[in-house]
Amino acid sequence: MTHFETLQEIYREARRRLPLDVWDYLSGGAESETTLRRNRHGLDCIAFRPRVLVDVSDIDCTTNFLGVKMRLPIALAPIGSLQTIEKGGAMTAALGAKAGGIFSIVSSVTQPGLEEVAKADNPTMFQLYVRGDADWVDDYARRAMQHRYFSFALTVDTAVYSRRERDLIKRYVPAGRRSAGGRDWQAALSWDTVKRLKDLLSVPLVLKGIATAEDAALCIEHGVDVIYVSNHGGRQLDHGRATIDMLPEIVDVAKGRARIMVDGGFCRGSDIVKAIALGADVVALGKLQGWAMAAGGVAGLARMLDILEIEMKSAMGLLGVTRLAQLNRAYLHPALPVTSPHAASAYTHVHIPTPEY
């Protein structure tokens, strides 16, 4: 799959390969898809302020996150039912991350399970949807530690299951939800759960789905190690804010006391540069990960990361920076968008088919 020269080609190949129901599951959002579109709109409303006459002959995109050395400040976000997008599922993601010098995040509602994915022998984060009582949760935590997952993420923005109308219209039920019981346990999550997990875990605790400064402050109060800024890719609460718009207030509250991850609409190397400039440590990719997997499996993921690195280095060099640590808000400026936002509006040279329901 090294023949891909652009991310747009990866997107187009994924659209060609995936059946409509799986495509819509991966690429769609909740209800009116306003939150999904705002993720792209927020990124498109940020312009760059470049500096010139800086020696940029040696640009380095590497970083270190929780002791994991990374080629790029990128992770593969947890996606449920990955095995319907590409038959290797979470193992393909782990192997793609390994090939690209980054880490993946294994969802508790995808296949194969955490024990099998651990055999990929690459730093991996485990992410849990709660479907049982305290003993059930603690069992997952112990298994993740036993299999050397370097961190443990609890998703906290799914107390109520969203209405994803692309799926509802076609009566499509994703694989991860066909036998999913115990949703009341997810609805009953509280900061008491966070405290218990923090006391149990010997690895860093991540809370995924933080969207406000107020909850970021509570994360700090409870000793959370990583604040994962997310609106679930626009797939949960409709009419929410873009994650890039949430990011500054959360970074300001954290004040370096927790590491910061973010996802939501990131489709370009320049998008990642914007997030790092606003204070994120790592950007997680959801839809783009799925498109790359569908387009070419492990090789598709590896090529996607190669292209993102090229785009990041291009943006950094033209901004006049050579290291991620040099990026800050001084390189950004508010701007008006020039395209109508949708999940792939960063790709302006591909035809977007109209879904046929």
Residue 254 covered by a domain: yes
Q: Tokens 């296949």 sit at which residue?
A: 111
List of residues 6+ apart from 221 with CB closer than 8 A: none
* Number of structural domains found in the chain: 1
The string of pLDDT tens digits covering residues 75-120 is 999 999 999 999 999 999 999 999 999 999 999 999 999 999 999 9
Closest CA to 78 of 33, 45, 123, 124: 124
The string of pLDDT tens digits covering residues 197-247 is 999 999 999 999 999 999 999 999 999 999 999 999 999 999 999 999 999
Whether 147 is a known active-site residue: answer: no
Residue 276 covered by a domain: yes
Tokens matching residue 212: 């406000």
Neighbours of 67 (CB within 10 A): 9
Q: What is the pTM of this model?
A: 0.96
Q: Tell me the longest C-alpha to C-alpha distance in the chain.
A: 59
Q: What is the CATH number of the domain that holds 269?
A: 3.20.20.70
Asked if residue 130 has pLDDT above 90, the reply is yes
Cα torsion 126, 129, 131, 133: sign:
positive
Residue 344 covered by a domain: no
Residue 324 covered by a domain: no
Neighbours of 159 (CB within 10 A): 13
Our CA angle for 286, 128, 99, nearest 5°, is 45
Residue 148 covered by a domain: yes
Q: Which domain holds residue 70?
A: 7-39+63-315
Residue 342 covered by a domain: no
Asked if residue 260 has pLDDT above 60, the reply is yes
List of residues 6+ apart from 299 with CB closer than 8 A: 1, 2
Q: Which of the residues 41, 147, 222, 232 is marked catalytic?
A: 232
Rounded CA-CA distance 90/81 in Å is 9
Our CA angle for 323, 309, 128, nearest 5°, is 95
Q: Using DSSP, state whether 89 is helix, strand or coil.
A: helix
Asked if residue 357 has pLDDT above 50, the reply is no
Percent of the chain scoring above 70 in pLDDT: 96
Closest CA to 71 of 227, 319, 287, 304: 304
Residue 320 covered by a domain: no
Residue 341 covered by a domain: no
Asked if residue 274 has pLDDT above 90, the reply is yes
